[in-house]
Structure 1
Amino acid sequence: MDTPERDKDAALGDDIRLLGRILGDTIRSHEGDFTFDLIESIRKLAVASRRLEDVASRKSLARTLDALTDDQAVVVVRAFSYFSLLANIAEDRHHLRRGRANRRSGAAPLASTLRGLFQDARERGTKQDEALARLSRVRVTPVLTAHPTEVQRKSTLDLQLEISSRLGERDNPDILPEEKTAIDMRLRALVETLWQTRILRAVKLAVRDEIENALSYFGYSFIDVVPRVQAEVEDAVAQLPGDFGRPELPPVLTVGSWVGGDRDGNPFVTADMLEYAFRRQGECIFDHYLAEVHALGAELPLSRTLARVTPALEALAERSPDKSPHRQSEPYRRALTGIYARLASTARSFGLHSEQRSALGEADPYPDAASFLAELDVIDTSLRGHGGGLLADGRLRSLRKAVGAFGFHLATVDLRQNSEIHEEVIAELLREAKVTPGYVTLPEEQRQKILRAELASPRQLRSSFATYSDLTKGELAILETAAAVHRQRGAESIRQYVISKAESVSDMLEVAVLLKEVGLLTPGELPASKLQIVPLFETIRDLRAAPDTMREWFALPEAKSIVKSLGAVQEVMLGYSDSNKDGGYTTSNWELYKAEVALVQVFKQAGTKMRFFHGRGGTVGRGGGPSYEAILAQPPGSVQGELRLTEQGEVIASKYSNRDIGQRNLEALVAATVRAMMDSDPHAKHEDYHVVMDELSATAFKAYRELVYETDGFVDYFRASTPIGEIAELNIGSRPASRKASVRIEDLRAIPWVFSWAQCRVMLPGWFGFGSAVESFLVRRGPAGQELLSEMWRSWPFFRAMLSNLEMLLAKTDLAVAARYKDLVPDPVLAEAIFSRIRTELDATMRAYFSITGSLGFLESNPTLARSIRNRFPYLDPLNHLQVELIKRFRAGEVDDKVKRGIHLTINGLAAGLRNSG
Structure 2
Amino acid sequence: MTTAELESRSQTTDVPGKGSIDREVVASAQPHLSRTVVQTEGMRLQPFETLLLELLIEVIESREPEIVPVVKGQRPMTDYSGQQLLNILQAFGIWFQLANIVEQNTVMRRRRDIEINRGVEAVRGTFAHVFANAAKAGVSIDVIEKLLRSARVRSVLTAHPTESKRVTALEIHRRIYLQLIELENQRWTPTERQSLIGDLKTEIELLWLTGDIFLEKPTVSQEVAWGLHFFNESLFDAAPRVQEKLRTALETHYPERKLGCPSLLGFGSWIGGDRDGNPNVTNDVTAATLVSHRQASIERYKKELLLLIKRLSVASHSVTVSDAFKSRLHSALALDPDRELIESRNPGEVFRQFVAIIINRLNATLADPAIDSPGVNSKGYLQPRELIDDLACIETALCDTGCTDLALRLVRPLRNQVEIFGFRTAALDLRENSSTVNATLAEIWREIEGSDAVPPKPDSEAWKSWLMSKLQQPLEAVPEWEPSNLSDKAQSTYGLFLLIANARDHHDSASIGGFILSMTRSVADILGVYLLAKYAGVFADQAGVESCRVQVVPLLETIDDLRNGPAIMRELLTLPLVRRTVADSGGFQEIMVGYSDSNKDGGFLCANWEVSKAQSLLQKTARDVGIPIGFFHGRGGSVSRGGIPAGHAIAAQPASTIEGRMRVTEQGEVVSSKFANRGISEYQIELLAAGVLEHSIKSGQEPELKPNAEFDEAMEALAGLSFVHYRKLAEMEGLVDFYQSASPVEELTLLKIGSRPARRFGANSLDDLRAIPWVFAWTQNRMMVPGWFGVGSAIDQFLSVRSEHGEKLLRRMYQQSRLFRLIMDEVEKTLPKVNLRIAKEYAGLVTDQQLAESVFALIEEEYSRTVNAVLFISGKQQLCEGFPQSMDVWNRRSAIIDQVGHSQVRLVQQFRESEGQANNAVLVQLLMSINCVAAGVGWTG
Conserved? CA contact 2:631–2:663, under 8 Å: yes
How far has the Cα of 1:272 moved from its partner? Answer: 1.0
Match of 2:85 in 1: 73
Conserved? CA contact 1:720–1:825, under 8 Å: yes
2:385 is the alignment partner of 1:370: yes
Q: Mark the CA change 1:224 to 1:861 in structure 2 (over 3 Å): closer, same or farther.
A: farther
Per-residue CA distance 1:203-237 (angstroms, 9 max, x = gap): 00111111011111102221111111111101111
Deviates more, 1:619-628 or 1:698-707: 619-628
2:252 is the alignment partner of 1:239: yes
How large is the Cα RMSD of the aligned pairs?
Answer: 2.2
How far has the Cα of 1:443 moved from its partner? Answer: 5.4
How far has the Cα of 1:461 moved from its partner? Answer: 4.8
> Which AA in structure 2 matches 1:521?
F
Conserved? CA contact 2:151–2:261, under 8 Å: no
What pairs up with 1:491-890 in 2 under 5 angstroms?
491-522=509-540, 526-679=545-698, 681=700, 685-709=707-731, 711-890=732-911
User: In structure 1, how many angstroms separate the alpha carbons of the residues matched to 2:587 and 2:940?
Assistant: 38
2:117 is the alignment partner of 1:101: no
Provide TM-score, normalisation by structure 2: 0.91
Conserved? CA contact 1:89–1:160, under 8 Å: yes
Match of 2:928 in 1: 905
SS at match of 2:733: coil
Match of 1:284 in 2: 296
> Which AA in structure 2 matches 1:29?
S
Per-residue CA distance 1:551-603 (angstroms, 9 max, x = gap): 12123333333333335411111111001101111111111111111111110
Conserved? CA contact 1:456–1:527, under 8 Å: no
What pairs up with 1:209-248 in 2 under 5 angstroms?
209-245=222-258, 247-248=259-260
Conserved? CA contact 1:225–1:663, under 8 Å: yes
Residue from 441, 444, 460 that aligns with 2:457: 441
Conserved? CA contact 1:429–1:462, under 8 Å: no
Conserved? CA contact 2:836–2:860, under 8 Å: yes
> Which AA in structure 2 matches 1:746?
D
SS at match of 1:439: coil
Deviates more, 1:150-159 or 1:308-317: 308-317
Q: Which runs of no fewer than 5 residues in structure 2 stay unpaired?
A: 1-14, 27-44, 372-376
Conserved? CA contact 1:313–1:332, under 8 Å: no
User: In structure 2, how many angstroms separate the alpha carbons of the residues matched to 1:526 and 1:430?
Assistant: 25
Deviates more, 1:565-574 or 1:103-112: 103-112
Conserved? CA contact 2:438–2:458, under 8 Å: no
Residue from 493, 502, 505 that aligns with 1:475: 493
Conserved? CA contact 1:258–1:415, under 8 Å: yes
SS at match of 1:889: helix
User: In structure 2, how many angstroms separate the alpha carbons of the residues matched to 1:8 and 1:913?
Assistant: 26
SS at match of 2:352: helix
> Which AA in structure 2 matches 1:880?
G
Match of 2:74 in 1: 44
> Which AA in structure 2 matches 1:520?
V
Match of 1:914 in 2: 937
Match of 2:148 in 1: 135
Match of 1:331 in 2: 350
SS at match of 1:414: strand
Q: Mark the CA change 1:3 to 1:248 in structure 2 (over 3 Å): closer, same or farther.
A: closer
Q: Mark the CA change 1:24 to 1:383 in structure 2 (over 3 Å): closer, same or farther.
A: same
SS at match of 2:894: helix
Deviates more, 1:680-689 or 1:423-432: 680-689
Conserved? CA contact 1:526–1:562, under 8 Å: no
Conserved? CA contact 2:71–2:91, under 8 Å: no
Conserved? CA contact 1:613–1:643, under 8 Å: yes
Per-residue CA distance 1:100-147 (angstroms, 9 max, x = gap): 222222266232222321221232244544322222221100111000
SS at match of 2:122: coil
Per-residue CA distance 1:412-464 (angstroms, 9 max, x = gap): 11111000001110011111122682224365322222112222332445534
SS at match of 1:747: coil
How far has the Cα of 1:654 moved from its partner? Answer: 0.6
Match of 2:57 in 1: 24
SS at match of 2:266: coil
User: In structure 1, how many angstroms separate the alpha carbons of the residues matched to 2:844 and 2:788?
Assistant: 23
2:137 is the alignment partner of 1:124: yes
How far has the Cα of 1:763 moved from its partner? Answer: 1.0
Per-residue CA distance 1:738-758 (angstroms, 9 max, x = gap): 123332111100000001111
Per-residue CA distance 1:284-329 (angstroms, 9 max, x = gap): 1111101111211111111111111222321232223443334231
User: In structure 1, how many angstroms separate the alpha carbons of the residues matched to 2:227 and 2:487?
Assistant: 32
2:299 is the alignment partner of 1:269: no
Match of 1:486 in 2: 504
Per-residue CA distance 1:741-795 (angstroms, 9 max, x = gap): 3321111000000011111221110110000000001111112211111111111
User: In structure 1, how many angstroms separate the alpha carbons of the residues matched to 2:484 and 2:191?
Assistant: 76
SS at match of 1:392: helix
SS at match of 2:432: strand
Conserved? CA contact 2:547–2:578, under 8 Å: no
Per-residue CA distance 1:43-73 (angstroms, 9 max, x = gap): 235xxxxxxxxxxxxxxx4xx51x5332222
Residue from 430, 437, 447 that aligns with 1:422: 437
How far has the Cα of 1:839 moved from its partner? Answer: 1.3
Residue from 388, 392, 402 that aligns with 2:403: 388
2:412 is the alignment partner of 1:397: yes
Conserved? CA contact 2:217–2:753, under 8 Å: yes
2:182 is the alignment partner of 1:165: no
Per-residue CA distance 1:230-260 (angstroms, 9 max, x = gap): 1110111111244324x33222110000011
Q: Mark the CA change 1:156 to 1:348 in structure 2 (over 3 Å): closer, same or farther.
A: same
User: In structure 2, how many angstroms separate the alpha carbons of the residues matched to 1:35 and 1:724?
Assistant: 29
Match of 1:52 in 2: none
User: In structure 1, how many angstroms separate the alpha carbons of the residues matched to 2:783 and 2:275?
Assistant: 31
Conserved? CA contact 1:767–1:809, under 8 Å: yes
What is the percentage of aligned positions where both structures have the same residue?
33
How far has the Cα of 1:694 moved from its partner? Answer: 1.1
> Which AA in structure 2 matches 1:592?
V
User: In structure 2, how many angstroms separate the alpha carbons of the residues matched to 1:678 and 1:442?
Assistant: 42
SS at match of 1:105: helix
Deviates more, 1:308-317 or 1:905-914: 308-317
Match of 1:85 in 2: 97
User: In structure 1, how many angstroms separate the alpha carbons of the residues matched to 2:866 and 2:756?
Assistant: 34
User: In structure 1, how many angstroms separate the alpha carbons of the residues matched to 2:796 and 2:22?
Assistant: 39
Per-residue CA distance 1:178-215 (angstroms, 9 max, x = gap): 11111111111111111111101110011111101111
Deviates more, 1:440-449 or 1:550-559: 440-449
> Which AA in structure 1 matches 2:748?
I
Q: Which runs of no fewer than 5 residues in structure 1 stay unpaired?
A: 46-60, 353-361
User: In structure 1, how many angstroms separate the alpha carbons of the residues matched to 2:108 and 2:308?
Assistant: 30
Conserved? CA contact 1:142–1:256, under 8 Å: yes
> Which AA in structure 2 matches 1:417?
E
Provide TM-score, normalisation by structure 1: 0.93
SS at match of 1:495: strand
How far has the Cα of 1:672 moved from its partner? Answer: 1.3
> Which AA in structure 1 matches 2:167?
K
> Which AA in structure 2 matches 1:870?
N
Conserved? CA contact 2:447–2:482, under 8 Å: no
Q: Mark the CA change 1:139 to 1:744 in structure 2 (over 3 Å): closer, same or farther.
A: same
SS at match of 1:499: strand
Conserved? CA contact 2:468–2:527, under 8 Å: yes
How far has the Cα of 1:395 moved from its partner? Answer: 2.7
